[in-house]
Structure 1
Amino acid sequence: MTDVVLPCLNEAEALPWVLSRMPDGFRPIVVDNGSDDGSAEVAARYGADVVREARRGFGAACQAGVRAATGEVVCFMDADASLDPAELPRLVAALAGADLVLGRRRPVRRSAWPVHARAGNAVLAASLNRRHPDLRVRDLGPMRAIRRANLHPLDLRDPRFGYPLEMVLRAAQRGYRITEIDVAYLPRRGRSKVTGTVRGTLRAVRDMRRVLAA
């Protein structure tokens, strides 16, 4: 069984599509991070294990999901239907030659990934690559796969949007083999809280810069 951690804040509109496309053998763990739109009830209705995390923040939700995970492999992805769970088996298969597999987002249309969000991601990836010359990361996107035995030693602690970068940074520091696989990036469903707004993107970039500085 592979566990799939899905941080969730008000994603009731997107969850039916996401959970209905979860591949066999992949257990969705939806971490409700304070939703007030019935997301937890929708997730449970579609067969997900629901974990509630009162401490707000993307990283805090991911950490709660990891604590609930029991599978040999743990995957991460957003719950907003911008990423297709059907892509996950390819990421898990790539672990045969890697320790951490990242989904490199390929937008199916320009509106799926606004320019400001793409630019912020590129700057952060370049900063990370400069610190680790052997690293060739082009996207710090949320879809990824890692063995649970390799995840726990990373001791990830960032409670906010720095969590995805912290994972890659600490994996690189430990000499993990990191690879990327192209995945489709779709227009999200519902209201965007990060990449769809300049304010959200700036908040995520600030959190990630804080991780790099530390």
Structure 2
Amino acid sequence: MIDVVLPCLDEATALPWVLGRMPAGYRPIVVDNGSTDGSPDVAAAYGARVVHEPQRGFGAACHAGLLAATGDIVCFMDADASLDPAELPKVTGLLAGAALGLGRRRPTARGAWPPHARLGNALIARRFGLRDIGPMRAAYRERLLGLELTDRRSGYPLEMVLRAAGNGWRIAETDVAYHPRTGRSKVTGTVRGTLQAVRDMRRVLEAS
């Protein structure tokens, strides 16, 4: 069984679509990060395991899911319906020849990935010979735990790639569709959120 960590903050409207498209053999772990819209109840109704993480932050939710996972392989993806769980097997398939698999986002509509969010991501990804520091990813659980990730904010995905590269991991990418998210964006869909994410990523880079 492959665990899928879904950090969640007020995603009640998106969760039915996301959880309803989870492939066989993939077990969703919805990590609620302080939702007020009933997201945990929706997740439980659709058969997901629900983990509550009181420390606010994207990285805090991701890492709580990693600690809760028990499968040999752990995937991460957003819970806002911008990514299709049906594409997870493409990403986990990369592990046949790589230690970390990333879904390289390909927008399906104008506005799915705003320019202000795409530019900063591209500049950072280029440092690692990548096209995207994508939110859909897969790796072996024990190896991820060995990275000893410490960021608990928006820098968590970058820290994972940074430490993986520093440990000599082979990192591979494959295209995945990137749809307009359902509901209000908390991070890269807003200029303010993007600036915060950039600050978090800069802090991770400086710490390295």
CA distance in 1: counterparts of 2:156 and 2:142, whole angstroms: 18
2:179 matches 1:191 = no
Q: Show the counterpart of 2:57.
A: 57
Q: Show the counterpart of 2:149.
A: 156
Q: Name which of 124, 149, 169 aligns with 1:176.
A: 169
- Give unmatched runs, 5+ long, in structure 1: 130-134
Q: Show the counterpart of 1:74.
A: 74
How is 1:106-125 mapped onto 2 (pairs within 5 angstroms)? 106-125=106-125
Offset of residue 149 of structure 1: 2.1
2:21 matches 1:42 = no
* Displacement over 4 Å in runs of 4+: none
Specify the code of the residue in structure 2 equivalent to 1:13.
Answer: T
Q: Show the counterpart of 1:89.
A: 89
Q: Show the counterpart of 1:102.
A: 102
2:207 matches 1:200 = no
2:140 matches 1:147 = yes
CA distance in 1: counterparts of 2:124 and 2:167, whole angstroms: 20
Question: TM-score, normalization: structure 2?
Answer: 0.98
Offset of residue 195 of structure 1: 1.4
How is 1:9-20 mapped onto 2 (pairs within 5 angstroms)? 9-20=9-20
Specify the code of the residue in structure 2 equivalent to 1:196.
Answer: G
Offset of residue 194 of structure 1: 1.0
Alpha carbons 1:124, 1:205 under 8 Å: kept: no
**DSSP-derived class of the 1:27 partner:** strand
Alpha carbons 1:124, 1:209 under 8 Å: kept: no
Offset of residue 64 of structure 1: 0.6
CA distance in 1: counterparts of 2:55 and 2:189, whole angstroms: 23
Offset of residue 94 of structure 1: 1.3
Alpha carbons 2:187, 2:194 under 8 Å: kept: yes
Alpha carbons 2:2, 2:27 under 8 Å: kept: yes
2:24 matches 1:24 = yes
**DSSP-derived class of the 2:111 partner:** helix
CA distance in 2: counterparts of 1:65 and 1:117, whole angstroms: 25
CA distance in 2: counterparts of 1:167 and 1:157, whole angstroms: 10
Offset of residue 138 of structure 1: 1.3
Q: Show the counterpart of 2:130.
A: 137
- Give unmatched runs, 5+ long, in structure 2: none
Alpha carbons 2:100, 2:138 under 8 Å: kept: yes
Offset of residue 123 of structure 1: 2.0
Q: Which moved more, 1:146-155 or 1:19-28?
A: 146-155
**DSSP-derived class of the 1:110 partner:** coil
Offset of residue 197 of structure 1: 0.5
CA RMSD of aligned residues (A): 0.7
Q: Show the counterpart of 2:5.
A: 5
Deviations 1:151-191 (A, max 9, x none): 11100110100000000000000000001110000000000
CA distance in 1: counterparts of 2:68 and 2:188, whole angstroms: 27
